Amino acid sequence: MKLKDFVETFVEHNSIVRLVSKISCGHEIVGKDWNDVLMAHHVSQSKYADNEVENICSILCSGSYIEAINIVIKL
Domain that holds residue 38: 3-73
Domain count, the chain: 1
Residue 20 neighbours by CB under 8 Å, 6+ apart: 27, 28, 29, 30, 57, 59, 70, 71, 72, 73
What is the separation of C-alpha 42 from the centre of its chain, rounded to a whole number of angstroms?
A: 11
pTM as predicted: 0.92
pLDDT at 63: 83
Per-residue pLDDT of 11-26, as tens digits, reads 999 999 999 999 999 8
Q: What is the pLDDT of residues 37-62, one digit of tens each?
A: 999 999 999 999 999 999 999 988 88
